Amino acid sequence: MNSSQLFGITMIAYLLAAACYLGLVIFKNQRIGLIGMLLALGGAIVQTAALGLRWYESYQIGIGHAPLTNMYESLVFFAWCTTIFYLFLEYRYKARVMGAFVMPCSAVAMAYASFSTRMDDQISPLIPALQSNWLIAHVVTCFIGYGAFAVAGALGMMYLLKLSTENKKANPQALFASLPELKVIDDLTHKTIVFGFMWLSAGIITGAIWANEAWGTYWSWDPKETWSIITWFMYAATLHARFTRGWRGRRIAWLAIIGFLAVLFTYFGVNFFLSGLHSYGSS
């Protein structure tokens, strides 16, 4: 058994979990939802083992480093963070239908990592720029933030779908009737953004300190840095709009989705469309 096979199992578990959660929304069958949760949880456990194994394997081939150093590994870690964060929310707030919006995200990330020809799933040695203790701190803080923002974006979508059915005064048997109350979704979206914002800030800060150690400047307006601060500005604006202007509901849901698009661009877009210091993240 090697880590690649375990990541394969994880991907299948996440795909099935996503399907079950969708089944929960459509058929309102609690048992399907429970199976979905167990699949997601099982997948997360297998993935945790796989991450540990990949780390161990890297030591066995003599280039030991945390599995956080290229696009393949970062996607896998993104799926892991998103799933773990989601499972925590489900446990804490007992809102299982959220999985129908979050788990497809994790499943797509895993599938993209496994099947895209762009991805190199080999464990490769670290180039000198990445040989730093800041690597783990920087990547982990950023990706906890990304995972939370992915969940916030999914919640935003859920809010808008629920809102559209409520406006039509649909009957209780309607497709999205099983979604939580609008007020609950709104509150969770906000809490998730707050959590993500804290970690994004920590991610930018650890990145700045690392940049100063490696390149002699803590901020060089490299496209990745710039997009991360653009994302930060957008979420800062969202939080201010809510705290001081009283924005709620639909506006915050849209901002959660737009914010996540900015996160996606910071994560993928910069690597694929723009060039800069973070180019080692692109393959």
Partner 1 sequence: MTTQKKNSIAALFASVQLALFLLFLLAATSIIGTLIPQNNPQGFYIEKFGKKTADLLHILDITDMYNSWWFLTLLGFFSINLIVCSLERIPQVIRTIRKDGLAIQPEQLEKFPLHTEKILNGSSADAAERVTSLFNAQGWKYRHTEKNGGQLFFAEKGAWTRFGVYVVHVSILIILAGAAVGSTIVAKKILRNPHFAFKGSIMIPETESADHIIAFKSGTRLDLGFSVHCDSFTIEYYPNGMPKTYRSKVTVIDGGKPALSTDIEVNRPLTYKGVTFYQSSYQPYQDYIVSLKKKATGAEHTEVIAPARQMNWQPENISYGIINREGQGEVTRRLKIWFTDHKGEPSTFWVGVGQEAMIERPTGTYSFQARQLYATGLQATKDPGVWLVYSGCLLMLVGLFMAFFLSHRKLYAFVQPLEGQSRILFAGEANKNKVGFSDKFAELISKLDK
Q: Which residues bind partner 1 (CB under 8 A)?
A: 63, 124-125, 127-129, 131-132, 194-195, 197-198, 201-202, 205, 208-209, 212-219, 221, 223, 226-227, 229-230, 233-234, 236-237, 240-241, 243-245, 270, 274
Q: Which is nearer to partner 1, 14 or 195 (CB)?
A: 195
- Report how far Cα 239 is from the mean position of its chain's Cα atoms: 20
48 or 201: whose CB is closer to partner 1?
201
Q: How far is CA 24 from CA 20, 82, 97, 122, 222, in A?
A: 6, 20, 7, 37, 44
* Min CB(111)–partner 1 separation in Å: 28
> What value, to the nearest 5°, has the Cα angle with vertex 134 and ends 128 and 135?
65
CB atoms near residue 171 (< 10 Å): 8
Least distance between partner 1 and beta carbon 165 (Å): 26
Quote the least distance from Cβ 166 to partner 1, whole Å. Answer: 23
Return the number of the residue (77 or 195) whose C-beta is nearest partner 1. Answer: 195
Nearer to partner 1, 48 or 282 (CB): 282
For partner 1, the closer CB: 161 or 202: 202
- Distance CA(162)–CA(170), nearest Å, equals 10
DSSP per-residue string spanning 106-138: HHHHHHHHHH-TT---S--PPPGGG-STHHHHH
* Residue 39 or 135 having the CB closest to partner 1: 135
CA distances from 237 to 150, 156, 233, 241, 252 (A): 18, 16, 6, 6, 11
CA 180, 181, 187 angle in degrees (round to 5)?
95
Q: How far is the CB of 193 from partner 1 (least distance, A)?
A: 10
Q: How far is the CB of 254 from partner 1 (least distance, A)?
A: 14
Whether 76 contacts 53, CB under 8 Å: no
Output the smallest distance, CB 219 to partner 1, in A: 7
